[in-house]
Chain A
Amino acid sequence: MKTCISEAEFEVMVAQTGLPLSAEQKRTLYDAYWMLEAMIARVNKPMPPAAEPAHIFIPEVR
């Protein structure tokens, strides 16, 4: 499988993280990024707008 976003787009994402990655490290992560894309697509299937997350706020903080 191949990563969908371009290397230029990936560069922007790396810059946003602030991680001090070498060129080799960027290449390694870019080559693996397709697996993350597949997972993100899988959790972004349509859901009812009112579908609540598993974490809800409980006012009685423990």
Chain B
Amino acid sequence: MDPILTIAEASRQIAAKQLSPVELTQACLDRVKRLDDTLHAFILPTQERAMADARAAEARIMAGLSRGPLDGIPIGHKDIYNTAGIRTTGHSRLLEHNVPEREATVVRKWAEAGTVMMGKLATHEFAMGGPSFDVPWPPPRNPWNPEHFTGGSSSGTGAAVASGMILGGTGSDTGGSIRGPAALCGIAGIKPTYGLVSRAGVLPLSFSLDHAGPLAWTVEDCALLLQAMAGHDPTDPASADRLVPDFTADLGKGVKGLRVGVVRHFFETDSPVSPATFAGISHSLEVFEHLGAEISEVKLSPLDDYHACGWLILTSEAYAIHEPWMKTRFNDYGELFRDRLALGGFIRATDYVQALRRRRELCLELKAAMAGLDILVSASQVAEAPRITEVPKWATLEKPSLTIPFNLTGYPAMSVCSGFGAGGLPVCVQLIAKPFAEPLLLTAAHSYETAVANRKRRPAIAMQEAA
């Protein structure tokens, strides 16, 4: 068995009875044991549950009753996804002993697909406050260099996937919390269209901006995971009632004839990116052109407009959720969460409504800009991961987010690794498609990822330990 397999590779080997889900799970558990004291990706590993799931998967497969490509695949859940009978904390002292009775729709769907549940993964406190050192569990470390930040808030998922402790995991993305860790940990992560994946049973941060989605080593793995997440859920009021397409069927179709727009002002002037990030984006455009896509430039409103609108809505909605605890248990929150969120208490109702009106304008602007396009290209992060001790408290306010425009508009967006910067840490590119055009988005991302061929390079810490 190769040291670290992708989901697609493991799935093929399991289907051919060349790989036992029990052996695969044990290999992942061994990595957790060796690496997690350094990486802190897990809040709660669930070894016994994992081995029980793996044995059940193996029995099904040997009996010819496989549940599909995720049967026997080790995964983890961000610790804002409710897991019945298993502690779900939001990485917060406020829910330190919280054991849900019901599980999130996505948790149930992945279990029904046969996944092996390896445990609960670290996050920023309530998906907003991090990296925090004053909450009950430490923040995860970047496997490419443990002195550095993973990005947030799906931090544990990013670290665990990149280091091979799990093959895929859940994330949530309210302003970039899937695409950020995917970018800084050098993996793939997709924020689907708003409404494609149920949010039921996921601790809310901002009702109109929260998206659930997967992170994995490759685009193909994200497609496999998304297939088992997507679908109408009557218990989520925002859930879209529409047929779920096949996300893997067209992955190899290529991008010939695709119309690709680049939002150059976002990453050149509005929020200038590092030379390595810029080079990665430029190269992605060359790759798309070489593969037969047509490239053009797109002009949108300044990134600051999208950021202000998104941040005001996010913080207002989050404050409304947390206000009772903010008044009674303020100092039980970590400093980063409570200070960032407290600003939400100062936003007037009229400013929230103005942000919603502006949101509609920006949605219409993006729709018009994409009328003749299939894919947009932009940056997801400005640079490689900073040192974990150097992330400012007001990081999310000081510079406009490159990811939040697509939370605000609900468009599907994805981070894909484009290479490595001067410090040896990953950089990435962000691809965006029209609502519910995930098959096209995944096809474009897979074409690019295959062309740049950087998926054989894993963090040294994972390879050294696995050798």
Contacts and interface: CB of A to CB of B under 8 A. Distances in A.
Tell whether A pairs with B.
yes
Interface of A: 13, 17-21, 25, 28-29, 32-33, 35-36, 38-40, 42-45, 47, 51-55, 61-62
Contact of B339 (A18, A20, A28, A43): A28
Given A20-B327, A35-B397, A42-B304, A53 B312 contact: no
Interface size class of chain B, counting residues whose CB lies under 8 Å from the partner chain: 35 or more
22 contacts: A18-B327, A19-B330, A20-B327, A20-B330, A21-B330, A21-B342, A29-B339, A29-B342, A35-B394, A36-B397, A38-B308, A39-B307, A40-B347, A43-B355, A51-B360, A53-B356, A53-B357, A54-B208, A54-B356, A54-B360, A54-B363, A55-B356
Given A17-B345, A19-B330, A19-B342, A39 B360 contact: no
B237 interface: yes
B351 interface: yes
B294 interface: no
Contacts of B304: 42
Contact of B343 (A18, A29, A43, A52): A29
A61 B238 CA distance: 10
Please provide the 5 A-B residue pairs with the shortest distance between their CB atoms, ordered closest to farther.
A53-B356, A17-B345, A39-B308, A54-B359, A42-B308
B305 interface: yes
A19 B351 contact: no
Interface of B: 208, 234, 237, 239, 304-305, 307-309, 311-312, 326-327, 330-331, 339, 342-343, 345-347, 351, 353-361, 363, 394, 397-398
A47 B357 contact: yes
Contact of B311 (A32, A39, A45, A55): A39
B361 A51 contact: yes
B234 to A, nearest CB: 7
Contact of A32 (B345, B354, B397): B397
